[in-house]
């Protein structure tokens, strides 16, 4: 009985050692994508009314956790029995991300008139709640696509390991991709609150200066994250195609990987955006016919 117990402890020790090693490898493989995930989700999680930032972010976080609960078991099953389906899902997600990146660039080049803060405050509370729900659902949907890519990449690093190692490692990466990313996002969107509290200290003190710097830095950080998030969308989308379609990879084999991913993402996004704009024009003509 005692020998069986110690044998079990030895098996657990070996498993934990394998998990630690493979988790380190998987984290290194997904580190870049986790950075992209942070940039994209920080940009998607900003822009709410100040009083609604944390509640809205909590809704997004719960949705992101639910995404992982849905994705993980399906990913394990498809990886074991229908791996080609995973590639198809990744490619569809890549097209969507490329479209989103291209659409953001299009809006930057041809901006639409945005409502100012006063107009937003004066909106009907139901309309504000509806807009928040739309933004939350949109952020969760984008997280879903990015989560698929993160889970698949993490899974690919442990596909030759035992099933229990795969489950533990990929689940840990998925947990980090949610709690870690949205924890940092929460800190970013509340920078100004921390700043204002620090500014209550004696003027010209270190805390006052730091608080003032945080308040001034927030809009810059949000704008920078918007730019980085757009670049991340394009790169992730392009990377999905260059990593999963060898013809695309071979066509751009002489280019640095980042440049190749950017070119593929921009071309793909441009085509998807053009088709969507054309569809909207035709739909508008049909509606007026």
pLDDT above 60: residue 28: no
Q: Are 238 and 261 in contact (CB under 8 A)?
A: yes
Asked whether residue 69 is assigned to any structural domain, the reply reads yes
Q: Are 42 and 185 in contact (CB under 8 A)?
A: yes
Q: Give the closest residue to 158 by CA, choosing from 11, 29, 69.
A: 29
pLDDT in tens, 120-146: 455 566 677 777 788 888 888 888 877
Asked whether residue 208 is assigned to any structural domain, the reply reads yes
pTM of the model: 0.68
- Distance, in Å, from the CA atom of 219 to the CA atom of 88, rounded to the nearest integer, reads 38
- Distance, in Å, from the CA atom of 276 to the CA atom of 109, rounded to the nearest integer, reads 17
pLDDT above 70: residue 282: yes
Biggest CA-to-CA distance, the chain: 83
Asked whether residue 9 is assigned to any structural domain, the reply reads no
Q: Are 237 and 97 in contact (CB under 8 A)?
A: yes
46 three-class SS = coil
- Distance, in Å, from the CA atom of 40 to the CA atom of 147, rounded to the nearest integer, reads 12
pLDDT in tens, 159-202: 667 777 778 888 888 887 788 777 777 777 777 778 888 888 77
- Structural domain of 154: 18-288
pLDDT in tens, 85-116: 877 877 887 888 889 889 989 988 888 765 54
Asked whether residue 3 is assigned to any structural domain, the reply reads no
Question: What is the CB neighbour count within 10 angstroms for residue 201?
Answer: 14
Asked whether residue 252 is assigned to any structural domain, the reply reads yes
Domain count, the chain: 1
Q: What is the 3-state secondary structure (H, E, C) of 180-220?
A: HHHHHHHHHHCHHHHHHHHCCCCCCCHHHHHHHHHHHHHHH
Q: Are 268 and 237 in contact (CB under 8 A)?
A: yes
């Amino acid at each position: 009985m005692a020998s069986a117990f110690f044998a079990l402890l030895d098996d657990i020790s070996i498993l934990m050692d394998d998990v630690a090693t493979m988790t380190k490898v998987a984290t290194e493989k997904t580190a870049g994508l986790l950075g992209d995930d942070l940039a994209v989700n920080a940009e998607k999680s900003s822009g709410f009314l100040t009083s609604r930032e944390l509640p809205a972010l909590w809704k997004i976080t719960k949705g992101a956790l639910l995404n992982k609960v849905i994705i993980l078991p399906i990913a394990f099953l498809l990886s074991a029995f229908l791996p080609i389906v995973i590639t198809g899902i990744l490619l569809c997600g890549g097209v969507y991300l490329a479209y989103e990146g291209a659409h953001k660039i299009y809006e930057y080049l041809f901006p639409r008139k945005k409502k100012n803060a006063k107009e937003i405050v004066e909106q009907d509370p139901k309309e504000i709640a509806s807009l928040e729900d739309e933004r939350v659902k949109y952020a969760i949907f984008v997280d879903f696509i990015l989560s698929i890519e993160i889970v698949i990449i993490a899974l690919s690093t442990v596909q030759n390991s035992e099933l229990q190692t795969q489950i533990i490692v990929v689940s840990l990466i998925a947990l980090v991709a949610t709690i870690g990313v949205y924890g940092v996002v929460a800190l970013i969107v509340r920078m100004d609150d921390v700043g204002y509290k620090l500014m209550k200290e004696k003027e010209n003190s270190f805390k006052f200066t730091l608080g003032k710097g945080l308040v001034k830095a927030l809009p810059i950080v949000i704008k920078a994250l918007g730019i980085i998030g757009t670049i991340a969308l394009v790169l992730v989308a392009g990377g999905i195609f260059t990593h999963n379609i060898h013809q695309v990879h071979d066509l751009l084999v002489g280019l640095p990987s980042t440049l190749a991913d950017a070119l593929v993402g921009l071309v793909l996004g441009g085509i998807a955006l053009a088709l969507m704009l054309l569809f909207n024009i035709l739909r508008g003509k049909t509606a007026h016919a």
